[in-house]
C-alpha cells in the first residue's frame, strides 16, 4: 500500500547497521499532518559511556528532521534505544480579552539493533 501523508504521523530513522567505537551520527525524519499553531520535536537517546553511566541526551534541529548522536562504548552487538517527543501547542480565544492554550505531547519509542566495530 501507499502512505496517506495527509493523515499519517510517522518517522524514519537513518542510522547505519554498523557503528564505530565512540561518537556516531544518525538522522530522523518526522512526518506529521497536524495543524497545530506551534510544533516542537526532539529525539532522546540513551547513551552509555566508558564509566558505565547511561545518559539520556536530547537532540533537536528543525521540526521535521534532526540529527542525533549515538555513543558506542564496546565492540559487538548493541541496541540503540530512543524516543521521539512531539509537542503541539494550540490556542483559541475564549472571550475578547482571554485565550485558552492547549499543550499536547506525543511519544514514539524505537530500538535498533546495530553492530559496533573498532
Q: How many domains does the chain have?
A: 1
User: Which candidate, 79, 70, 56, places its Cα nearest to that of 27?
Assistant: 70
Please tell me the distance from the alpha carbon of residue 102 to that of residue 99, in angstroms, as a whole number: 10
pLDDT score recorded for residue 19 = 98
User: Which candidate, 111, 11, 48, places its Cα nearest to that of 57?
Assistant: 48
With respect to residue 45, please indicate whether it lies within any of the assigned structural domains. yes
- Domain region containing 91: 10-117
CB contact set of 45 (below 8 Å; sequence gap of 6+): 56, 57, 59, 68, 69, 70, 80, 81, 82
Predicted confidence band of residue 74 (pLDDT cuts 50, 70, 90):
very high
With respect to residue 69, please indicate whether it lies within any of the assigned structural domains. yes
With respect to residue 111, please indicate whether it lies within any of the assigned structural domains. yes
With respect to residue 20, please indicate whether it lies within any of the assigned structural domains. yes
pLDDT digits (tens, 9 = 90+) for 31-44: 888 888 888 889 99
pLDDT score recorded for residue 97 = 83
53 has pLDDT over 80: yes
CATH number, position 77: 2.60.40
CA end-to-end distance (rounded Å), the chain: 40
pLDDT digits (tens, 9 = 90+) for 84-102: 999 999 988 888 888 899 9
Q: Is the dihedral of CA 27, 31, 34, 37 positive or negative?
A: positive
C-alpha distances (whole Å) from 78 to each of 15, 25, 62, 63 are 13, 15, 28, 28
Amino acid at each position: 500500500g501507499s502512505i496517506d501523508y495527509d493523515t499519517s504521523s510517522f518517522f524514519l530513522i537513518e542510522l547505519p547497521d554498523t557503528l564505530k567505537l565512540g561518537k556516531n551520527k544518525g538522522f530522523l525524519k518526522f512526518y506529521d499532518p497536524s495543524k497545530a499553531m506551534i510544533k516542537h520535536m526532539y529525539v532522546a537517546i540513551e547513551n552509555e559511556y566508558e564509566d558505565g553511566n547511561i545518559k539520556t541526551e536530547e537532540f533537536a534541529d528543525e521540526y521535521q528532521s534532526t540529527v542525533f548522536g549515538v555513543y558506542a562504548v564496546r565492540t559487538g552487538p548493541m541496541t540503540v534505544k530512543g524516543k521521539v517527543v512531539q509537542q503541539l501547542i494550540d490556542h483559541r480565544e475564549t472571550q475578547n480579552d482571554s485565550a485558552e492554550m492547549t499543550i499536547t505531547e506525543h511519544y514514539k519509542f524505537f530500538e535498533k539493533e546495530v553492530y559496533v566495530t573498532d
